[in-house]
């Protein structure tokens, strides 16, 4: 019987690795540039953390979590997102006592039992950035710019922010009341999901994807007309900063998070050729979350960006990753007496940081040369019995075809001269 990977799980083969390495490298560079520090929370957490930290009425918690009972009879869950675990880490490690803002990022897999569809995986990797302990809209702009710069440096064009404010516990209730009243007036035409949302999670009414709900959404009251003074100032400062930095944005009233601890800023980044279903990333402010999870009142803002999504978009847009460095030298050898110096030379070259491959087994000279050509090596060192008997070696430049015999002891120096010149 052949084994197969689970539905929604995928293998990443060597051919795709350049995309991963390119993105990881950019993430490391850009987070350093902005002063964000890496953390690595565990993949497995108590289920209760996500019930409180993600919200029990969300699709994630209702349908998508990998939850099981471990051998100690404890309910545990493979993280379906990063933020709740990061907040737990922040509180548990007393990071609220550090100078603020505390600026953190992480990269790794998250798990959601989603319906299999193109570009959706049950294990997928996410780049997650959070800034804790700062109210200033300047940190909102900073967080948003981390995402922006990542996509820009990867080569995406037509970048644009989708932006909204979801208010705060001060101003949201009045808006929600008006939104509910409006929806009750359209109860007959909205979808069944929206009928349910109307009671449980009214803000989510606004991001219903159902066709029949679109005209209702289009006519719905907008929250940005209901912001309190504090939320309004925050939102206008943020917009002014984005204009100052010449970052295009569009106010999108459908953009909501829909949980009480989300406040003020909500954003997505869109790019050329990538539609609303395919936002590059989404994030927002969650000034109530740390407190909700048992920590001191702490404002926070963050975003998550799926790495598979970035790779898929790079491929669609024809954006090339950085190439993997090719083999520099290939060692061909024939006959018993050549084997020993061939092995020695291979490892000596690697010690000098020259990327070197050695032919294995007892292959014919011709098949070793074929292998050398396939490897992408610039130079072949040939150790035949005749050469080795005279303490010599042949060096062949595969690009020009030029070949000459040099003393075996000089091979490293000659290669270093040619490769690093
Ligand atoms: Zn407010
Ligand atoms: Zn609907």
3-state percent breakdown (helix, strand, coil) of the chain, nearest 5 = 45, 20, 35
The answer to whether 165 and 231 are in contact (CB under 8 A) is yes
- Taking the centre of ligand 2 as the mean of its atom positions, its distance from the CA of residue 316, in whole angstroms, is 30
- Taking the centre of ligand 2 as the mean of its atom positions, its distance from the CA of residue 7, in whole angstroms, is 29
- Taking the centre of ligand 1 as the mean of its atom positions, its distance from the CA of residue 106, in whole angstroms, is 30
Residues 6+ apart with CB under 8 A from 208: 190, 191, 193, 194, 197, 217
Ligand number nearest to the C-alpha of 190:
2
| pLDDT of amino acid 53 | 85
- Taking the centre of ligand 1 as the mean of its atom positions, its distance from the CA of residue 298, in whole angstroms, is 16
Tokens of 192: 């069944």
- pTM value? 0.91
| pLDDT of amino acid 277 | 62
- Taking the centre of ligand 1 as the mean of its atom positions, its distance from the CA of residue 242, in whole angstroms, is 21
- Taking the centre of ligand 2 as the mean of its atom positions, its distance from the CA of residue 217, in whole angstroms, is 9
| pLDDT of amino acid 120 | 77
Ligand number nearest to the C-alpha of 194:
2
Determine the Cα–Cα distance for residues 193 and 258; give it in Å rounded to an integer: 14
| pLDDT of amino acid 172 | 92
- Taking the centre of ligand 1 as the mean of its atom positions, its distance from the CA of residue 85, in whole angstroms, is 27
| pLDDT of amino acid 119 | 67
Q: Which of 141, 162, 165 is nearest to 275 (CA)?
A: 162
| pLDDT of amino acid 275 | 57
The label of the residue with tokens 């490293």 reads 412
- Taking the centre of ligand 2 as the mean of its atom positions, its distance from the CA of residue 206, in whole angstroms, is 8
- Taking the centre of ligand 2 as the mean of its atom positions, its distance from the CA of residue 187, in whole angstroms, is 10
Residues 6+ apart with CB under 8 A from 209: none
Q: What DSSP line would sit under 39-76, residue for residue?
A: ----SEEEHHHHHHHH-TTSHIIIII-EEEE-TTS-EE
Where is 278: in which H helix or E strand? Answer: none
- Taking the centre of ligand 1 as the mean of its atom positions, its distance from the CA of residue 229, in whole angstroms, is 7
Ligand 2 ion: nearby residues, β-carbon < 5 Å: 191, 194, 208, 210, 213
- Taking the centre of ligand 2 as the mean of its atom positions, its distance from the CA of residue 64, in whole angstroms, is 20
Ligand number nearest to the C-alpha of 216:
2
- Taking the centre of ligand 1 as the mean of its atom positions, its distance from the CA of residue 252, in whole angstroms, is 18
Where is 237: in which H helix or E strand? Answer: helix 229-244
Ligand 1 ion: nearby residues, β-carbon < 5 Å: 167-168, 170-171, 228, 231
Determine the Cα–Cα distance for residues 85 and 47; give it in Å rounded to an integer: 11
First to last CA, the chain: 54
Determine the Cα–Cα distance for residues 393 and 187; give it in Å rounded to an integer: 85
pLDDT along the chain (421 residues), means of 10: 92 96 98 98 96 81 91 97 95 95 98 82 96 97 97 95 94 93 93 90 88 93 94 97 96 83 92 74 93 93 94 93 94 93 96 95 92 95 93 96 96 93 71
Domains, the chain, ranges and CATH? 14-171+227-316 (3.30.930.10), 329-420 (3.40.50.800)
- Taking the centre of ligand 2 as the mean of its atom positions, its distance from the CA of residue 196, in whole angstroms, is 9
| pLDDT of amino acid 375 | 94
């Amino acid at each position: 019987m052949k084994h197969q990977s689970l539905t929604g799980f995928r293998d990443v083969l060597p051919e795709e690795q350049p995309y991963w390495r390119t993105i990881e490298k950019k993430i490391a560079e850009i987070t350093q540039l902005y002063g964000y520090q890496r953390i690595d929370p565990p993949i497995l957490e108590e289920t209760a953390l996500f019930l409180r930290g993600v919200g029990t009425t969300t699709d994630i918690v209702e349908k998508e979590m990998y939850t099981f009972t471990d051998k100690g009879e404890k309910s545990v869950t493979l993280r379906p997102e990063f933020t709740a675990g990061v907040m737990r880490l922040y509180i548990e490690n007393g990071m609220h006592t550090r100078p603020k803002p505390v600026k953190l990022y992480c990269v790794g897999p998250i798990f959601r039992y989603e319906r299999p569809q193109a570009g959706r995986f049950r294990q997928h990797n996410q780049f997650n950035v959070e800034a804790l302990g700062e109210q200033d809209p300047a940190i909102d702009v900073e967080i948003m710019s981390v995402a922006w710069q990542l996509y820009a440096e990867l080569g995406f064009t037509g970048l644009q922010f989708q932006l909204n404010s979801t208010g705060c516990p001060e101003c949201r209730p009045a808006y929600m009341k008006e939104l509910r009243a409006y929806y009750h007036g359209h109860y007959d035409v909205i979808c069944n999901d929206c009928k349910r949302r109307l009671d449980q999670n009214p803000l989510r009414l606004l991001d219903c994807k159902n066709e029949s709900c679109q005209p209702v959404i289009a006519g719905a009251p907008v929250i940005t007309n209901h912001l309190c003074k504090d939320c309004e100032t925050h939102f206008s400062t943020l917009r002014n900063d984005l204009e100052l930095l010449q970052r295009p944005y569009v106010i999108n009233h459908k953009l909501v998070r829909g949980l009480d601890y989300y406040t003020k800023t909500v954003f997505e980044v869109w790019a050329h050729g990538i539609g609303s279903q395919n936002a590059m990333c989404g994030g927002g402010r969650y000034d109530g979350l740390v407190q909700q999870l048992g920590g001191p009142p702490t404002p926070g803002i963050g975003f998550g960006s799926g790495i598979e999504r970035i790779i898929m978009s790079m491929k669609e847009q024809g954006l090339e990753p950085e190439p993997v460095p090719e083999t520099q030298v290939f060692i061909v050898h024939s006959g018993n007496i050549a084997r020993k110096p061939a092995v020695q030379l291979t490892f000596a070259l690697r010690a000098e940081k020259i990327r070197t491959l050695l032919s294995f087994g007892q292959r014919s000279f011709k098949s070793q040369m074929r292998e050398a050509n396939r490897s992408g090596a610039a130079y072949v060192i040939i150790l035949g019995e005749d050469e080795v008997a005279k303490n010599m070696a042949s060096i062949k430049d595969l690009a020009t075809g030029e070949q000459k015999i040099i003393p075996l002891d000089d091979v490293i120096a000659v290669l270093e001269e040619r490769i690093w010149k």
